[in-house]
Structure 1
């Protein structure tokens, strides 16, 4: 009977994230675990199938192999019983053997790096904040202290005879790779730990405190050394990369170290000039707009932007004036506006509307070209 596709087994898309894989496996495990369904062989078989799928897809290296070769990647010497190194290891060992530099055990393995996406408000990104995050990861098994052994006993690996590497001869090339049986350790566990099944690592969620520095922006990454996935027994853990995403703000838009905002004003204020209170991230401040201010006019408030996390330079706040048309006019207001508009009649009207005059001149020149 042919195996089902691992993605179909877990009910996820091929682009599923690690978190989506984990949630799907948890759901299936809760439903089909042998402890919950002791008298249901079909459910137990589904659990075994889901566990096998998750063990492959939750491992970045195995998942890449599966995506490329399917189930064949783990048959006839593949997966755990076959290729277990990367391309760099293989070619490094080829040249070592050719030039007589020896094989050795290769580079030390380590745990996988992890990526965590954190969302911040603009104020949090600008001023910095301490956050606690929950990171799903592989951690060192407490029961065996990461050794994978229930009693600490190990024996020499019979595949590599304790060398941690195996050699493959192909014509003139001698290729070394990490031993697929012991993973390069040279020893194997005699009595596997029941808690981690000899892996030395278990799935868990870890709470970490992280300090977000002031001035971070979208796409910035914070590296937490050694806070990634626990490595195989005797190796160091990977790193955790926290990537920042800043939520949209109701008032401000950020461009580099500068902030932008729009300031609505009534047309009487724009025409006569006014003192306006405008918001900043540190509280209100006041600007003076001169008479005859037009929509789109920018007022720069120096030093009211964001202090760069890299250069230490502080940006500016740019306020863009938007002249609003009044709505819900009373009868008196409408009458006053009609009287006001009547004062623009005659040849002198264009003197009060320079943009309208230049726009009409442009339209006239355009039609002259079209009709000529």
Structure 2
């Protein structure tokens, strides 16, 4: 299986600061740590994947090598294939604050598990990802898009209880309702999730036949997502509580909509500015003119071309660029690059007139080379 991009694994942008990287890794490490997901090989792989990504992106030298050369840049470094991550775990105190907080995050108490606050207890629903492709124009000016995806929701038969009919849950005999069991390792006594109840503190004697005691079932969900003006390619929109439903009273996860902007055949975007190329006849460039230019939102604006405009000259039109997300009334600029065209066929009359022009302006018959920078 091909490796995923490290930034994608942690769910951060390529410009993310170290604090954001740590926060993203902490969230994944808490969710997929093997001690919380006993026997779940998929969770174990996700934990290893997140740890490998954090190992590279939290280290300035490794991150620079990865940004420049990709996976090849970190081969042979810690974080590559088959490396020992023990040094990463020694850095847990830097990520989680202190050793105690690690286990507080991994193995929360039953009272937090039963309807605790967001971002806290075990049983919180998984976050989901949706990739949305939109046209260039919609990203610039904003739009509303319908998304359809499948998520875990509370079972309609048992209303999320996981039990059949009025059957009640009973206290787990293994952990006595705490949701945790303790094991001794040297000088340490470590609390881990109870293997009998999965950390719930309770067991179901008669599971719901529809959801088999999970309290959840998969359903299709449809939402209308607002894409703000000035949306950039690769950015994400977080929809709180629209991910998988939590277990019991635990909160639902979030839905992250990653926006992929389709390229435009004529326009390019750089920040809040737009760029396009307009062809001009060499006589228009030489004599100057006024032209009508079609904008991205299908309007016509008049642009003055000064006499003597050179090829590749940029003409600036203020306020015709991308609206700013925080202030849609403020827009970037439109830059028009002039492409001077030369006719490949001339009538005898046109040829005679151009010959007169060449003689009048005194064209150079032996021009000297100019620096390449002047052509940019």
* Shorter-chain TM band: 0.5 to 0.7
Q: CA shift at 1:275, angstroms?
A: 1.4
Distance 1:264 1:57 in 2: 65
Q: CA shift at 1:90, angstroms?
A: 11
Instruction: Give secondary structure in 2 for the equivalent of 1:228.
Output: coil
Name the stretch that deviates more: 224-233 or 340-349: 340-349
- When normalised by structure 1's length, the TM-score is 0.66
Instruction: Give secondary structure in 1 for the equivalent of 2:369.
Output: helix
Q: CA shift at 1:180, angstroms?
A: 2.6
Classify 1:287/1:358 alpha carbon distance in 2 versus 1 (closer, same or farther; 3 Å): farther
Classify 1:89/1:206 alpha carbon distance in 2 versus 1 (closer, same or farther; 3 Å): farther
Q: Say if 1:266 and 1:325, in contact at 8 Å, map to a contact too.
A: yes
Which consecutive residues of structure 1, in runs of 5 or more, have no partner in the other structure? 1-12, 18-55, 69-86, 97-101, 364-372
Q: 2:149 aligns with which of 120, 129, 135?
A: 135
Query: Could you say which residue in structure 2 is the equivalent of 1:159?
Result: 174
Q: Say if 1:57 and 1:63, in contact at 8 Å, map to a contact too.
A: no
Distance 1:212 1:132 in 2: 10
Distance 2:229 2:289 in 1: 35
Classify 1:121/1:181 alpha carbon distance in 2 versus 1 (closer, same or farther; 3 Å): same
- Confirm or deny that 1:359 pairs with 2:330: no
Which consecutive residues of structure 2, in runs of 5 or more, have no partner in the other structure? 6-37, 51-94, 113-119
Classify 1:62/1:229 alpha carbon distance in 2 versus 1 (closer, same or farther; 3 Å): farther
- When normalised by structure 2's length, the TM-score is 0.66
Q: CA shift at 1:291, angstroms?
A: 2.0
Distance 2:237 2:97 in 1: 29
Q: 1:245 aligns with which of 252, 255, 260?
A: 260
Distance 1:289 1:58 in 2: 67
Instruction: Give secondary structure in 1 for the equivalent of 2:156.
Output: coil
Distance 1:92 1:319 in 2: 60
- Deviation readout 1:180-209 (Å, 9 max, x if unpaired): 322222101111122212111222221112
Distance 1:139 1:230 in 2: 5
Classify 1:14/1:257 alpha carbon distance in 2 versus 1 (closer, same or farther; 3 Å): closer
How many residues are matched? Answer: 282
Query: Could you say which residue in structure 1 is the equivalent of 2:77?
Result: none
Q: Say if 1:93 and 1:176, in contact at 8 Å, map to a contact too.
A: no
- Confirm or deny that 1:304 pairs with 2:336: no
Q: Looking at CA atoms only, which structure, 1 or 2, has the larger radius of gyration?
A: 1
Classify 1:346/1:222 alpha carbon distance in 2 versus 1 (closer, same or farther; 3 Å): closer
Q: Say if 1:160 and 1:179, in contact at 8 Å, map to a contact too.
A: yes
Distance 1:143 1:59 in 2: 30
Q: CA shift at 1:57, angstroms?
A: 12
Classify 1:58/1:121 alpha carbon distance in 2 versus 1 (closer, same or farther; 3 Å): farther
Instruction: Give secondary structure in 2 for the equivalent of 1:92.
Output: helix
Q: 1:174 aligns with which of 185, 189, 203?
A: 189
Q: CA shift at 1:227, angstroms?
A: 0.5
- Confirm or deny that 1:322 pairs with 2:339: yes
Classify 1:339/1:60 alpha carbon distance in 2 versus 1 (closer, same or farther; 3 Å): farther
Instruction: Give secondary structure in 1 for the equivalent of 2:323.
Output: coil
Distance 2:332 2:361 in 1: 46
Q: CA shift at 1:220, angstroms?
A: 1.9
Q: Say if 2:197 and 2:203, in contact at 8 Å, map to a contact too.
A: yes
Distance 2:97 2:193 in 1: 9
Distance 1:234 1:222 in 2: 25
Q: CA shift at 1:163, angstroms?
A: 1.0
Q: Say if 1:90 and 1:175, in contact at 8 Å, map to a contact too.
A: no
